Structure 1
Amino acid sequence: MNTYATNTDRYREAPHNPSERGRKPRVIVLIRHGESESNKDKKVNEFTPNHLIPLTEKGWSQARHAGVELLRILNLDNNDIVENLEAKYPLPPHRHKGLTLKDYKPLNRRKDRNIVFYTSPYTRTRETLKGMLDVVDEYNLINSGVHVCEDHAYKPCGKQKHSIWPCIPSGHYENNESTHCFVGGNKSEYLQYRVKDEPRIREQDFGNFQEVSSMQDVMKKRATYGHFFFRFPQGESAADVFDRVASFQETLFRHFEDKHSRKPRDVIVLVTHGIYARVFLMKWFRWTYEEFESFTNVPNGSMMVMELDETADRYKLRTVLPKWTE
């Protein structure tokens, strides 16, 4: 018997046997980070490494509001709490209202209990995730009486050049019994989440320190050459990002199919960057590069929702993306 062929055939057949498959997430959500210092003033790029650029005060507000927006699309115990949180964390003044959700009415009403967050390791994405988790923690406290100790809360930044992260690492984090200061109130289940640092979902590399006037010339060349194939000096093209996206999506697919060794994941959230999010959708939905280039960047703090249609066994994009023609 050819063992290699037998194992290969078994692997190929597994996806067609529902009893041997893992449960796919009900929704996959992509979040663009909140406004960063670089979004506000490009000169920051001349002396601050791109991956260390933090959020502005407005960006933190957008991050907390993104946390509320995430809760709004979940199947939860108490939507009244979400309404109160939305009043507490409104959209910042003069902020775009966000992207439109089209035809989104949860196809599956099963309660969402487990969320897996993947975050780009850039400071602005980690800080965006921190703002979102603060809102999720607040929901858990009100709904379930679960309080995360301050010393054991998710920390967006660690120390460079240290092989061991101080206290709770930002690279891998989970809110579970070890992070709780107390559990009180009613017996409602709390939203459990896990955080994974994922370098593959980082921003497109535009080069190292970026001199503003030079970058303006480069951006003009990109507009002429095309956004997808143009490679930045000392950096990447969107086509290079596509390769990272393909690798990461393969990782997700393996997790979806693994029934026995993986923890549940009702919802997956990627806290990432504008270009990466669009390339992710391009790869997933098999857009051509022309289709990719027809879309403009999404506003800071925006949410893009992919919902699983179990009857068709495929995801549908529920978010309407902005286009240049608009």
Structure 2
Amino acid sequence: MFQLEMAKFINFKSNIKHLPKRIILIRHGQSSANLDRNVYANTPDHKIPLTPHGIDQAREAGRKLLDLANNISDHGNPPNCSSNAYFYVSPYERAKSTLREIIRAFPRHRVVGVREECRLREKDYGCFQHKSESVDPMAGWDKIEEDCEKYGRFFYRFPNGESGADVYNSVSSFVETLWRDIDMKRLYNDPSSVELNVVIVSHEETILIFLMRWFHWSTEQFESLKGPKNCEIRVLELGSSGEYSLAVQHDDETMKEWGLSDEMIEDQNQRAIAKPREYVSNEKNPRYLNSFFDSIDTDDGSHQQDADQNN
């Protein structure tokens, strides 16, 4: 029995050996449009630059990321193990400028790759693209925001733009590419001696939808989320379960401030501390399953009304 358990553990360790230690999400620094939304009327969204303060934010974020990358785990790594970074970045100028400032903090040999990724772009808020000399292009924005709040951020499609659901499709395609890059070991120089940090530099809504897609959160759970501030860092780190979790680097109070419910936080904590192969994913959790049923049949065939009022 002991030998069987050891064999399972060794197989588990070999399966996660080539996984990045962390997947780090960071929003771009402060842009000129973050200070004055009228900038959208005269500048294409993808060309909006960082402010001087945004540049400072990005440089500080680079120092924080390097400190994080230097925090090498000791689980089975050789003494000469180092921690490198591979970057994916949105093609928008404010995101690429943020990345350029972040990388200033890293020694060149620690950056193993950079890829511009169109699927990490900002959601298209196309309502700004039809300017008229006689009409203030921003005049209807307050009404649009009100409609979005009523309809729901995920499904509301901005005039001539995109909905959260549209972004979800793009992000889902990117996640598949990310997993393929990981499985093919395209992100490593030497997987045997290097811990890898995958860093994604993107935008507020795109980061939230990435988290939604990664953790299989529902549309209802998404609506409660609060986006990251400029250059805020959110870290998904491998837990003892072999799953990525926000709870390794962030405490419950922080996750609650981000809009995660108690159930979502519990799931993150289980991802962080569960034993290998004992983690029960969110969509298989009985409390989550029960929320889809007014009543369900128990194993003995009896009828459980209202799923015990969702526990």
TM range (shorter): 0.5 to 0.7
1:291 aligns with 2:221: yes
Give the aligned partner of residue 147 of structure 1: none
Matches within 5 A, 1:111-260: 111-136=81-106, 140=107, 175=108, 190-207=109-126, 208-209=128-129, 211-259=137-185
CA distance in 1, matches of 2:187, 2:85: 17
Tell whether the 8 Å contact from 2:112 to 2:187 is kept in structure 1 after alignment: no
CA distance in 2, matches of 1:54, 1:108: 42
Tell whether the 8 Å contact from 1:20 to 1:259 is kept in structure 2 after alignment: no
Tell whether the 8 Å contact from 2:188 to 2:196 is kept in structure 1 after alignment: no
Distance change (3 Å), C-alpha of 1:289 and 1:260: closer
Distance change (3 Å), C-alpha of 1:108 and 1:49: farther
Distance change (3 Å), C-alpha of 1:74 and 1:21: closer
Give the aligned partner of residue 317 of structure 1: 246
Aligned-partner SS, 1:213 = coil
Per-residue deviation, 1:193: 3.0
Per-residue deviation, 1:225: 0.7
Tell whether the 8 Å contact from 1:112 to 1:267 is kept in structure 2 after alignment: no
Matches within 5 A, 1:35-54: 35-54=30-49
Q: Which has the larger radius of gyration?
A: 2
CA distance in 2, matches of 1:281, 1:260: 23
Aligned-partner SS, 1:291 = helix
Distance change (3 Å), C-alpha of 1:228 and 1:261: closer
Distance change (3 Å), C-alpha of 1:272 and 1:112: farther
Q: Which amino acid aligns with 1:125?
A: A
Deviation per residue, 1:234-261 (Å, 9 max, x gap):
1111111111111111111112222589
Gaps of 5+ in 2: 1-10, 131-136, 262-311
Aligned-partner SS, 2:43 = coil
Tell whether the 8 Å contact from 1:33 to 1:273 is kept in structure 2 after alignment: yes
Gaps of 5+ in 1: 1-15, 78-105, 141-174, 176-189
CA distance in 2, matches of 1:251, 1:325: 27
Deviation per residue, 1:249-282 (Å, 9 max, x gap):
1111112222589645711000000111110000
CA distance in 2, matches of 1:294, 1:55: 28
Distance change (3 Å), C-alpha of 1:316 and 1:325: closer
CA RMSD in angstroms comes to: 2.7
Aligned-partner SS, 2:161 = coil
Give the aligned partner of residue 55 of structure 1: 50
Q: TM-score, normalised by structure 1?
A: 0.65
Per-residue deviation, 1:209: 2.4
CA distance in 1, matches of 2:186, 2:36: 48
Per-residue deviation, 1:17: 8.5
Q: Which of 53, 66, 71 is residue 71 of structure 1 equivalent to? A: 66
Give the aligned partner of residue 231 of structure 2: 301
Aligned-partner SS, 1:212 = coil
Give the aligned partner of residue 284 of structure 2: none
- Identity over the aligned pairs, expressed in percent? 37
Q: Which of 206, 211, 214 is residue 281 of structure 1 equivalent to? A: 211
Q: TM-score, normalised by structure 2?
A: 0.68
Tell whether the 8 Å contact from 1:305 to 1:317 is kept in structure 2 after alignment: yes
- Structure with more relative contact order (C-alpha pairs < 8 Å, separation 6 or more): 1
Q: Which of 2, 14, 20 is residue 25 of structure 1 equivalent to? A: 20
